[in-house]
Structure 1
Amino acid sequence: MSALAEPGDSDAGALVGAIGPVRALQAIVERWAASRVLAIVREADPAVAELLGHRLENALERWRPRASLRTAVRAFESAGHFRAALVTPEDDLWPRALDDLGDGAPHALWVRGDLARLEELVRSVALVGARAATGYGEHVAMEASAGLADRGFATVSGGAYGIDGAVHRAGLASDATTIAFLAGGVDRLYPAGHTDLLRRVGERGLLIAELPCGSSPTRWRFLMRNRLIAAASTATVVVEAGRRSGSLNTAGHAAAIGRPLGAVPGPVTSPASAGCHRLIREYGAECVTTPDEMAELTGVAGQPKIDVGEPQGRDAGSTDNAETVRLLDGLKTRSPLTVSELVVRTGMSARDVIGALGALETTGRASERSGGWVKTAQG
């Protein structure tokens, strides 16, 4: 299922929760009619059947084009090459904290590194922040990572430039466990400039992804990856973030599931810390300035639910909905793609792809050519 549904697909989570992963996969691969699947779900869990209802047919249409034995075999071959393991909720080492995501929880995790280190997630702190970090932010991130390591905590982040990279480097220098959650497969180390760093994290810590090997990171997948960072960790600290930084998305996920949330203050004149100040002032995040204070967060019951607006990605001011973001990720600027190809690339149904393409064409962000659709310069 991790290859068929996009991260965070709650319809897939509800289906698997009701009838189990084996039967859910069988229904998709063998192309059972939506009415038949819904009848089985209703027998197992009437509440889930009511929830899925008319959405099930559209969901099956999203998942079926991705049911490829060849793709699955390639994923496992690549996993074998990189010594990655597949961990499922049935395994003893499964991070139970992820279950707090409900129907949006991952179906499986692909892991590079010593699987025994997964147990260290029960005593971990996520340190996140902006890619365009200042010297101040990177200094605080490294001090925090090293200080938490000295106190027996694993650190969790996303492997990106800026704050994430500083966290992982300090964790490695402290000979502690540092864990990077990736937006693509664990064989696709991204960004390219962090290939060596992430390889070392995989050797001495953990690289974790919910998507199978061979999967490319996209803007949508980065946003969905953030929920795993927040859920897997005992607490989340935003080290440095602008007012509309993507790390606020991680903070929102953390608070939504009751994880303790902290933010590091910065100079009042620095726009790079405006997001942290916003979290403290408007959303009740704990003001933390030392590793001791960050460690104390792990014993806090939780924070009130936070609402920092729509998830922000690399284009912080974007108002695009989820379907538009995923379609723009899937389109190319030079090679035209058909609707069928876009269905496979985006995990959307043909109906949703056609609707989103029409909207993008109207705004001049996509155009149709003889061989299919391309993204324009405005996209």
Structure 2
Amino acid sequence: MGDDLSNAVRDDVGDDVLLARAYLNRVAEATCIPLWDFVRCEGPVAAAAAIRSSSEPQDLTAFVGARRHSADPHADLVAAERFGLRLVVPESAEWPHFALACLEQTGLARLAEYRAGKTVHDKNGERVPPLALWVRGPGKLRSLAVRSVAVVGARSSTPYGDQVAGELAYGLASKSFTVVSGGAYGIDGAAHRGALASGGETVLVSAAGLDRVYPVAHEPLYRRVAESGLLVSESPPGSAPHRQRFLTRNRLISAFGTGTVVVESARRSGARNTAIHGEKLGRPVMAVPGPVTSAMSVGNHALITEGTAQLVTSVADVVSVIGSIGEQATAEQAELPVDTRSARRHQLLDVLDSLDDTTRRVYEGLPARRPVSITDLVQTSGLPPSRVLGAVPVLLLHGLAEDTGEGVRRTRL
């Protein structure tokens, strides 16, 4: 099976980890709080072994008991190879640590609530990181949320909405923003097509397994996206597009974009769910106004009135809200007077002094001039991969490190 693994996935992770992650990805539905916690504490290989032998924590049994013996990671990886997919895991160099750092933070907060005895289910989809991602296409998964925008909206879109979505996506992609959406009818499809028409990159996040195109009529769209961008799914091959998978999928769309633009939405809709995820994750949310007579604009107007979303009407408006993280930081740094830059440097040094030993060791393993992979950081820091993976998002969030899309490097103080 080792040959199958090397063909179906990236070769920077050991077979034991890949098989364990594939098993864990299949044995329970995504965003299972007890499973995520167990894997965090024990690591994927030990967690998978415990579940197979029925020795997992009692609160996890209800979620994994039905599939513990039927989940077949070998079969999933063989299917992945057949359909040109690869399995990307947190131990992979391709893993989008920067994009998913926000889910790590909300996941830890949700875990604290769970441990305090609150309900384990969130009807809108738990905001925790995925255990693994199935991917197809040449796009750069690890650079998501560095320069990307989620463009979402109603399936039953109007001609007005389709036109606006297509024009926004075209303009954003022309400015080298990656357009992220969900591949559905209506606004999603218009956004993907607009980005493709510009020759830019787009990412389609599916609620089903990537070997099951949904909706079926979008098979040509999926194929075009896979040729130049990325198809991404949390669901293993063969998975059907159940309703709950759409809700959990929406949190990934929000996390993968620097900001989220809702083009059209009814008062109760999946697009509104995506917008709420974006707000909870700390991402800017924007909404396009529409005719007051249109039922497909009611949700947008509510998002604007409630203060959840900022009103935008053009590509320039969107860029002014989200900008480019790298360009914006550089411009702000250049405009700062010398004394302010010095204050910023001292602020970062104070943060650095407050880090725990593990995070400090990872920071010290970061070069300042060239980006390095997680694998390189494991070597330079001398720490286990799980600890390095936990420390990198902390450094990114505090501004002590930056993700260049090719790797992580130290921020210049």
TM-score normalised by the chain length of structure 1? 0.71
1:90 corresponds to 2:114: no
The one of 226, 232, 252 equivalent to 2:276 is: 252
Aligned residues of 2:139 and 2:229 also touching (Cα < 8 A): no
Alignment pair present for 1:145 and 2:173: no
Cα deviation, residue 99, structure 1: 3.1
What letter corresponds to residue 32 of structure 1 in structure 2?
S
Q: Contact between 1:117 and 1:177, CA under 8 Å: does it hold in 2?
A: no
Classify the secondary structure of the residue corresponding to 1:122. Answer: coil
Q: Letter of the 1:17 partner, please give it.
A: R
- Indicate yes or no: 2:129 matched with 1:127: no
> Counterpart of 2:5?
none
Confirm whether residue 274 of structure 1 aligns to residue 298 of structure 2.
yes
Over aligned residue pairs, what C-alpha RMSD do you find? 1.7
Residue pairs, 1:120-269, within 5 angstroms: 120-269=144-293
Q: Which amino acid is 2:75 matched to?
A: R
The AA in structure 2 aligned to 1:26 is A
Give the C-alpha shift of residue 72 in structure 1: 2.0
**SS of the residue 1:2 aligns to:** helix
Inter-partner Cα distance in structure 1 for 2:56 and 2:90: 27
1:76 aligned residue = 77
Report the CA distance between 1:145 and its aligned residue.
0.3
Quick one: which amino acid aligns to residue 5 of structure 1?
A
Query: Partner of 1:208: helix, strand, or coil?
Result: strand
| Residues 93 and 115 in structure 1, CA contact (< 8 A), matched pair in contact too | no
**1:260–1:113: structure 2 CA closer, same or farther, 3 Å change rule?**
same
Q: What do the CA deviations read for 1:277-318 (whole angstroms, capped 9, x no partner)?
A: 1000113411000011112222499xxxxxxxxxxxxxxxxx
Q: State the percentage of identical aligned residues.
A: 46
- Give the superposition deviation at 1:257: 0.9
TM, length-normalised to structure 2: 0.65
Letter in 2 for 1:28: I
Code of the aligned partner of 2:47:
A
Tell me, yes or no, if the aligned pair for 1:237 and 1:264 is still in contact at 8 Å: yes
Ranges in structure 2 where 5+ consecutive residues have no aligned partner = 1-23, 108-127, 326-413
Alpha-carbon displacement from aligned partner over 1:311-353 (angstroms, at most 9, x marks no partner): xxxxxxxxxxxxxxxxxxxxxxxxxxxxxxxxxxxxxxxxxxx
Q: 1:68 to 1:297 in 2, by over 3 A?
A: farther
User: Which residue identity is paired with 2:83?
Assistant: F
Partner residue, 2:101: 99
Matched position secondary structure for 2:54: coil
Unaligned runs of 5+ in 1: 35-56, 302-379
Per-residue deviation, 1:117: 5.1
* Cα distance in 2 for residues equivalent to 1:170 and 1:216: 27
Distance apart, 1:115 and its partner CA: 4.8
**Are the counterparts in 1 of residues 145 and 255 from structure 2 also a CA contact under 8 Å?**
no
- Distance (whole Å) between structure 2 residues aligned to residue 134 and residue 283 of structure 1: 24
Change (3 A) 1:69 1:244: closer
Task: Report how many residues are paired.
Answer: 279
